[in-house]
Amino acid sequence: ANTGIGKATALDLARRGARVILACRNKEKAEAAVYDIRRETGNTAVLFMHLDLASLKSVRDFAETFLKTEPRLDLLINNAGLMAAGKTEEGFGMAFGVNHLGHFLLTLLLLDRLKASGQTRIINVSAKLHHLGSVDFDTLNTHKDLVTGQSMWHTFMAYCHSKLCNVLFTRELANRLEGSRVTCYSLHPGVVATEFGRNLNILMRLLNLIISKLFFLTPEGGAQTTLYCALQEGLEPLSGRYFDCCTLHKVSDKARDDGLAKKLWEVSERMCNLP
């Protein structure tokens, strides 16, 4: 949340007088973002708490600290969207581990606090590229990843697969939250000029930069659908659904598969060692 869409979202919420926690991996960048947001908004209730989604231990530590210090949680925005090769601390593929599994565990650890805080929402930032995604459970079991290699193509497809996981997670989460006062939504933020591809090689970073400039959507513009799902009144009946450009959109056939969503949930629980 210290750059791009995350920072733009936090800035807007801070302007509205919200207490905002920036959960970030990089302390230096996060503290700079906190300083910027406080200065621009005059809201001093903007704080940094350390969270590295590439470490399930860090996710648990963050949740423990948050639950000790914050009496309520009205809005959880799962914003990370990493496209990078490599492995997480526990050996999961980076895109799967950060974009899906870290968010999955974080959400479940904070769910009781959300339920206790009244009418609350969970926002999962996905992407239109989920249409290219699939979930191969055999590969997940053998490689702890959604792909079998580390090439640029594998890295790109791992990102697409992880974004499908975001939509499936939101769908199953909505089913499990039925009857509660917590609702959830997934969304495509648009093609945004951010640092999400900062871990790619120079060629892929250049391509990302060109695409971003062609579509020229600012982080502020990219944050609008997140803010719509977070703040728009009357969205409760649409829990579990997917939004693009602040409107309801269809998802891929795979993303509508309740059986797939349920299986992903169960596999994710097992991978996070949840009871």
Give mean pLDDT, residues 178-194. Answer: 86
Higher pLDDT, 162 or 218: 162
For the cut 60, the answer to whether the pLDDT of residue 114 exceeds it is: yes
* Domains within the chain, CATH numbers bracketed: 1-50 (no CATH), 54-271 (3.40.50.720)
Token look-up 């609702």 returns 183
- Residue 122 has, within 13 A of its CA and on its CB side, a CA count of 31
Tell the burial category of 256 from Cβ atoms under 10 Å away from its Cβ (0-12, 13-18, 19+).
middle
Return d(Cα 98, Cα 82) in angstroms, integer: 7
Amino acid at 210: I
User: Catalytic residue at 185?
Assistant: no
Active-site position among 159, 185, 228, 242: 159
d(CA 38, CA 43): 5
Backbone angles phi, psi at 84, to 5 degrees: -155, 150
Print burial letters for 222-246: b (CB count within 10 Å at least 16), e (below 16). Answer: bbbbbbbbbeeeebeeebbbbbbee
What per-residue confidence (pLDDT) applies to 194? 47
**Residue 59's closest CA among 45, 86, 78?**
78
Mean pLDDT of the chain: 93
Question: Is the pLDDT reported for residue 191 higher than 90?
Answer: no
Least confident of 1-5, 149-153, 178-182: 1-5
**Rounded mean pLDDT, 70-74:** 98
* Residue 218 pLDDT level (bands cut at 50, 70, 90): confident
Q: How confident is the model at residue 93 (pLDDT cuts 50, 70, 90)?
A: very high
Tell me the whole-structure pTM to 2 decimals. Answer: 0.92
The pLDDT, as a whole number, for residue 154 is: 96
pLDDT at 195: 45
DSSP state, residue 46: E
Mean pLDDT of 99-114: 99
Euclidean distance between CA atoms 172 and 275, whole angstroms? 17
Helix (H, G, I), strand (E, B), or coil: what is residue 250? coil
Q: Which two tokens stand for residue 224?
A: 């609008």
DSSP secondary structure code for residue 144 in this structure? S
